[in-house]
Amino acid sequence: MKILIVEDDSEIADFIAKGFEQDGHLVSQVGNGKDGFLLALDNDFDVMVVDRMLPGLDGTSLVRAVRGAGNKTPILFLSALDGIDDRVQGLEAGADDYLVKPFAFSELSARISALLRRPPLQAEQTKMVVGDLEVDLIRHRVMREGQLINLQPKEFRLLEYFVRNTGRVLTRTMLLENVWDFHFDPHTNVVETHISRLRNKVDKPFETPLIHTVRGAGYSLHA
């Protein structure tokens, strides 16, 4: 994958670049908005990581310019501004995701993966299969090894998010935001509790677990 990093803090930029390169990605790095814009239009990147505050052309203007030029490359905003307003403004400018500094590389990596391989949602795809797990998205029915698994609506939503992102690492924050619409950090183990309950129904009665804990990062559903 080709990733463009537009970040003026070289320490952060190098850290991200190194991480992505270790994951086997091809990374281009620039330190200002104008170069970022030119590079983005000249090359076919798979994803862009853009710092919100940049010298010259700032991040928000850069994203607007890129989108204005008809470029649809997924963009993730990095920012030290963590107000919800800041997030809303960033997303309104045309970014696809927003990550606040300081962040864990695993969080950035998970979010980038989610952006990278976001499959074009096919309307007719109403049934998803992961190993021996079948999830009917229309009828909210879950089957495993031919057995019907009874899930509460909230549990189904969690599982649905997992199956729609099969194979990807989903961080705690991603689950909180996308499953429960929680845009804050709870002080109780909300995520762990719900994962544990889902595992009890989906994994425990069966031989091979499908929901895996990714140490230091989050969870992943795969066969």
CB atoms within 10 A of CB 86: 17
Measure the CA–CA gap between 172 and 178, rounded to whole angstroms. Answer: 10
Q: How far is the CB of 166 from other proteins (least distance, A)?
A: 24
Binding status of residue 199 toward other proteins by CB under 8 A: no
Measure the CA–CA gap between 211 and 219, rounded to whole angstroms. Answer: 7
* DSSP states of 57-123: S-HHHHHHHHHHTT----EEEEES---HHHHHHHHHHT-SEEEESS--HHHHHHHHHHHHT-PPPPT
- Using DSSP's 3-state secondary structure scheme, residue 35 falls into helix
Range in contact with other proteins (rule: CB under 8 A) among 23-31, 51-59, 147-155, 166-174 = 147-155
Residues 103-122 that bind other proteins (CB under 8 A): 104
Q: How far is the CB of 51 from other proteins (least distance, A)?
A: 18
Q: Which is nearer to other proteins, 39 or 190 (CB)?
A: 190
Instruction: Work out which of 42, 44, 184, 207 binds other proteins, going by CB under 8 A.
Output: 184
Range in contact with other proteins (rule: CB under 8 A) among 13-21, 66-74, 130-138, 186-194 = 186-194
Note the Cα 141 to chain centre separation in Å: 25
Binding status of residue 188 toward other proteins by CB under 8 A: yes
Measure the CA–CA gap between 140 and 192, rounded to whole angstroms. Answer: 23
Lookup result for tokens 């009665």: 205
Instruction: Work out which of 69, 88, 129, 223 binds other proteins, going by CB under 8 A.
Output: 88
Binding status of residue 182 toward other proteins by CB under 8 A: yes
CB atoms within 10 A of CB 139: 9
Identify the CA nearest to 79 among candidates 102, 106, 110, 55. Answer: 102
Q: How far is the CB of 188 from other proteins (least distance, A)?
A: 5
Residues 13-72 that bind other proteins (CB under 8 A): none
Binding status of residue 187 toward other proteins by CB under 8 A: yes
Binding status of residue 91 toward other proteins by CB under 8 A: no
CB 210, CB 202: distance < 8 Å: yes
Binding status of residue 140 toward other proteins by CB under 8 A: no
Binding status of residue 11 toward other proteins by CB under 8 A: no
Binding status of residue 127 toward other proteins by CB under 8 A: no
User: Which residues lie near other proteins (CB under 8 A)?
Assistant: 82-85, 88, 100, 102, 104, 152-154, 180-190, 193-194, 197, 216
